Structure 1
Amino acid sequence: MSLNGNRAKGLGRGRSSPPFLSSGVTLTELVLIMILVAILSLFILPRLFDLTDFGAHGYFDSLDAALGYARKEAITSECPVQVSLASGGYALAQASQCTNGSYSIPVVNAATGHPYATTLPSGVAQSTNPATSSIVFDATGSTPATETVTVSGGGFSGMLTVYAGTGFVSHSP
């Protein structure tokens, strides 16, 4: 091989090694990357392992959907639907004779085929204002009084309001 052939490959004068051997990271860059990873892990990893926030937000969204479903079910079936809010979660039931009183027929979730009910995740609490154990939607989809349900757990707190007369459900997480 001639001297000019080596220069064309980058191995001539002025180069001590081929270009592919000098393409690593320096020790300073490696240390900086390790410091950045350590700082990020201090703030991000604790959030990933605290599932109370996710459980509270999931339950809040589920209750929001259940209230909307109960209202629509009351309108389409022309029977009152009750959302029971207990300390352990919520459940939907219809009036047995389409009159207020005994809510003994569980509302079936069309997606699962099971009764529409959910339990509270651990570390999550719900409260109502005024203090009530149920919200009832009549055949027109309205409720007799405005009621507010607050769901909280971890760092999450959300509020669902069911308005009297219309049964409209609004939320503010």
Structure 2
Amino acid sequence: MRRSARAPSPDRPGWPQGFTVVEMVVLIALIGILGAVAAPRLVSISELRSAQSRRRVLSDLRFAQRLAIGSGCPVQVGFGANGYTLTQRSACRTGAFARDVLDPLTRQAPYAVAFEDVTTTSSVDPIVFDALGRATDATGQVSSAVIQVGPWPLEVVGETGLARVP
């Protein structure tokens, strides 16, 4: 009986050990491509939070304006160091801004937003949207405002109440 030739096995001498140079070059190239694509996205997590916060502030400013127009009652947006609150006058057109606005998602009061690592400042604080949708200061004077959300500004045009990214 003849023995047939056997293929080399990993536990026998003569079996190739390790990687070839071509395999190593391909592996290093793949790691380099993945690093070039993924690294910029992973490095700027704080920038992603700031961008998300900016979109939230913009959306809430537009909500406050529409609420003021729809209800006929002024809505105040008061800014703090890391967030803001929405309030209305206690008797719609008169009184202090003491009535909390309900959060439209949770139906809970107060409508207060706090950010962890993002600071918010406004050139007009508080911003009050009147029944016509105009942005005013606390004295009732129509005024435009620039709101800084992290590194990015937002603008509220006084006459129209339009909240936008400049």
Structure 1 stretch displaced more, 107-116 or 135-144: 107-116
The corresponding residue for 1:119 is 114
- CA shift at 1:84, angstroms? 0.7
Tell whether 2:156 aligns with 1:168: no
- CA shift at 1:85, angstroms? 0.8
TM-score computed with the length of structure 2 as normaliser: 0.74
- Any idea what the Cα deviations from partners look like across 1:114-168, whole Å, max 9, x if unmatched? 232211221x222222xx331100111112101110112xxxx322111112111
Distance 1:90 1:57 in 2: 16
Equivalent residue letter for 1:78: G
Distance 1:81 1:35 in 2: 57
Structure 2: runs of 5+ lacking an equivalent: 1-18, 136-141
Equivalent residue letter for 1:60: R
Pair 168,46 (structure 1): closer, same or farther in 2 beyond 3 Å: closer
TM-score computed with the length of structure 1 as normaliser: 0.71
**Corresponding residue to 1:72 among 66, 73, 97:** 66
CA contact (8 A) 2:80 2:121 kept: no
- CA shift at 1:101, angstroms? 4.9
Equivalent residue letter for 1:134: P
The corresponding residue for 1:35 is 29
**Which aligned pairs between 1:20-59 and structure 2 lie closer than 5 A?**
27-38=21-32, 40-41=34-35, 44-45=38-39, 47-48=41-42, 50-59=44-53
Identity %: 30
The corresponding residue for 1:135 is 127
Pair 100,84 (structure 1): closer, same or farther in 2 beyond 3 Å: farther
CA contact (8 A) 1:80 1:100 kept: no
- Any idea what the Cα deviations from partners look like across 1:48-77, whole Å, max 9, x if unmatched? 254211211111011001000000000111
CA contact (8 A) 1:86 1:133 kept: no
CA contact (8 A) 1:89 1:119 kept: yes
- Any idea what the Cα deviations from partners look like across 1:61-100, whole Å, max 9, x if unmatched? 1100100000000011100000011112011111111235
Count of aligned positions: 141
CA contact (8 A) 1:71 1:137 kept: yes
Distance 1:100 1:65 in 2: 26
Distance 1:31 1:100 in 2: 74
RMSD: 2.3
